[in-house]
Amino acid sequence: MGIETTPGRIAFVAGDRPDAQDAFARLTALYGQTTTEEADVIVALGGDGTMLETLRHALPLNVPVYGMNCGTVGFLMNAYDPEGLLDRLAAANPVVINPLKMTAEDRRGQIHEAMAINEIALLRETRQTARIAVRVQGRTRMDQLICDGILLSTPAGSTAYNLSAHGPILPINSNLLALTPISPFRPRRWRGALLSYDATVEFEVLEPDFRRVSATADNMEVRDVYKVTGSISSDVRMTLLFDAGAGLEERVLEEQFAY
């Protein structure tokens, strides 16, 4: 089940929006505040962007994160209600996810690493289409994809950017990754692929001096990339807490029947 805690053992973090800041003031007045390093649980106030940023900062702490929606979509968040928070935390259902690790080499030869809960995305930076070679497990699967971009999505992120790019929704326990093109021009009819959860995917940007491409791990961006590698970090575990009956698995399932 969830987390048994007491006032003064919760670390509240909030986004910049006024609603999130107001919620932060009210909740810290009700339940106190501690540092993320000393907390039993971190409560993120905001939207999905705030949750992703909070999860990234919580990575080395091994502290569960419970979100309250003070943003727009809030797919990863619970409903906002300042009352009864301790009971909700105690009854919450934990979901453990593994992030994607992105290693990106830019045109200057610098190496950048970042973690992604939702997806790794490559996107063209200019009016020129991107040209990208795709390798899976060291084998070239596509010599040249001409497109606006391409993304590699986790099950947790499959209902986000991946779905907007017409990628498949993945059940949360499916042990699959979705590889989805963004506005493919050639091959025009390619709609992507489903990959094993332990697959390593390499992207090589062709003509990188002329056709510049950026890479993002959720909301962390690297400009002018040359090579990007993505794979699941099976040794890294993130714990999200969801109210009973409103877990991530149920939300993903609901999205498959949305119309």
Q: Do the beta carbons of residue 71 and residue 51 sit within 8 Å?
A: no
Q: Of 19, 22, 48, 218, which one is the catalytic site residue?
A: 48
Query: Is 106 known to sit in a ligand binding site?
Result: no
Exposed, middle or buried by CB within 10 Å (0-12, 13-18, 19+), for 195?
Answer: middle
Write down the residue that tokens 């040794």 correspond to: 235
Asked whether residue 160 is marked as a ligand-binding residue, the answer is yes
93 in a known ligand binding site:
no
- 209 annotated as a binding-site residue: no
198 is catalytic: no
Cα gap 26→24, rounded to integer Å:
6
How many beta carbons lie within 10 A of that of residue 240, not counting itself?
24
Q: Is 218 annotated as a binding residue?
A: no
Q: Residue holding tokens 């390619």?
A: 190
User: Of how many residues is the chain composed?
Assistant: 259
69 is in an annotated binding site: no
Q: Is 198 labelled as part of a ligand binding site?
A: no
Annotated binding site for NAD(+): 48-49, 118-119, 148, 156, 159-164
Active site residues: 48
Annotated binding site: 48-49, 118-119, 148, 156, 159-164
